[in-house]
Amino acid sequence: MWTRIRLTLEMIKFEHSIFALPFALTGALLAIRDGSLTGNLLWRKIAWIVVAMVCARSAAMAFNRLIDADIDARNPRTKLRHIPAGLLSTGFSWGFVAVSSLVFIFAARELNTLCFRLAPVALGVIFAYSFTKRFTSFSHLVLGFALGIAPAAAWIAIRGSLDARILWLTAAVTFWTAGFDIIYSCQDYEFDTDAGLFSLPRRLGVAGALRVSRFLHAIMLACLLALVYTLQLGALSLAGIAVVAALLIYEHWLVKPDDLSRVNAAFFTMNGYVSVLFFLFWAADIFYASRF
């Protein structure tokens, strides 16, 4: 059992929960900034937000691996993934999806009534992404939205209602995720073409897809600036955006249409830095403002 759990965590790349979690926590901190939550209730809310985020992502990733198992088996880059390679059974993987989903719903119930009511909707969104590459080149944006709802969900978890201002952060995460997913999908340009799958690299070519990725990341930065203005944040938040911009510029410098050898560094390493450093700067801004 423990071996299968370890293999499942490897399959879903559990450590990459770091991508969306800092943005969700940022949404929570922004909601707390003008609120009155303190002490044990505050930390209880944060703990359940983390549980909900991790479980939702785990369920979505395992679901994606199950739905794409036949595709992964035919793709030279992914044929050694755990399910097509026979390291994990589909039955155990479906069980993992079910348990992760149930824990997510329980965490949402512990947060508040609105989170509990919206939990099935959130699961529907994150599960739907796995089917989109079969019929639309906008699958990257669907994945982006699946991660982008995290900060809005965290806001609802803290406040019990949605404030339209936090949707600037939802939009930022959506465009950021879509941009780096396009970069990652460039590796499968030839396979997607042969298999008849939909992706932006297949539609526009690798060079064209990379241009769209840069454009989406520029929109992300604009959304973050709009959020700073809307919520009247300070200099540290602006510094955080500058750091994110520098990291994204370097990410795009790493990847060339005729040289995709550093895609993993651009996708995994740089985007991990983006999310963590963004959170640290914005958290520092929020805590600094709360003291003065």
- pTM attached to this predicted model: 0.94
Q: Above 60 in pLDDT, residue 260?
A: yes
Looking at every residue in the chain, the average pLDDT score rounds to 93
Quick: pLDDT tens for 95-146. Answer: 999 999 999 999 999 999 999 999 999 999 999 999 999 999 999 999 999 9
Give pLDDT, residue 27. Answer: 96
Quick: pLDDT tens for 174-224. Answer: 999 999 999 999 999 999 999 999 999 999 999 999 999 999 999 999 999
Quick: pLDDT tens for 74-92. Answer: 999 999 999 999 999 999 9
Q: Is 261 exposed, middle or buried (0-12, 13-18, 19+ CB in 10 A)?
A: exposed
Spatial separation of the C-alpha atoms in residues 20 and 258, rounded to whole Å: 30
Q: Above 60 in pLDDT, residue 157?
A: yes
* Structural domain spans, the chain: 19-291
User: Per CATH, which fold does 19-291 belong to?
Assistant: Tetracycline Repressor; domain 2 (1.10.357)
CA distances 92 to 13, 81, 123, 127, Å, are: 17, 15, 19, 18
